[in-house]
Structure 1
Amino acid sequence: MRLEYKINEYCGVKEVEEVFSKSGIRRPVGDGDRIQRMLDNADEVISVRDEGKLIGFLRAITDYSYCCYISDIAVDKDYQGQGIGKELIRMLRERLGEEEIQYILTSAPRAVGFYEKIGFERADKAFVIKRKNN
Structure 2
Amino acid sequence: MVSGYRVSSHREEMDFDAIHTYISSTYWAEGIPKETFKKALDNSLCFGVFSSEGKQVGFARMITDQATFAYLADVFIDEAHRGKGLSKWLMQEVHDHPSLQGLRRILLATRDAHSLYQQFGYTPLSSPSTFMQKWQPDIYKG
When normalised by structure 1's length, the TM-score is 0.80
State how far apart, in whole Å, the 2-side matches of 1:113 and 1:7 are. Answer: 24
Residue 16 (structure 2) aligns with: 13
Gaps of 5+ in 1: none
User: Does 1:103 find its partner at 2:119?
Assistant: no
1:26-46 CA distances to partner (integer Å, 9 max, x unpaired)?
Answer: 32446211221121121x101
State how far apart, in whole Å, the 2-side matches of 1:33 and 1:97 are. Answer: 26
Amino acid at match of 1:48: V
Aligned length: 131
State how far apart, in whole Å, the 1-side matches of 2:33 and 2:119 are. Answer: 33
2:70 maps to which of 63, 68, 71: 68
Gaps of 5+ in 2: none
Query: Do the aligned residues in 1 keep the contact of 2:7 with 2:93 (CA within 8 Å)?
Result: no
1:38 maps to which of 37, 40, 60: 40
Residue 49 (structure 1) aligns with: 50
Residue 129 (structure 1) aligns with: 134
Secondary structure in structure 2 of the residue aligned to 1:118: coil
Identity rate, percent: 19
Distance 1:92 1:78, change over 3 A: same
Query: Do the aligned residues in 1 keep the contact of 2:68 with 2:102 (CA within 8 Å)?
Result: no
> Which structure has the greater CA radius of gyration?
2
When normalised by structure 2's length, the TM-score is 0.76
Segments of 4+ in structure 1 off by > 4 A?
A: none
Query: Do the aligned residues in 1 keep the contact of 2:71 with 2:107 (CA within 8 Å)?
Result: yes
Secondary structure in structure 2 of the residue aligned to 1:110: coil
State how far apart, in whole Å, the 1-side matches of 2:112 and 2:34 are. Answer: 26
Q: How does 1:76-95 map to 2 (within 5 A)?
A: 76-95=78-97
State how far apart, in whole Å, the 1-side matches of 2:23 and 2:101 are. Answer: 28
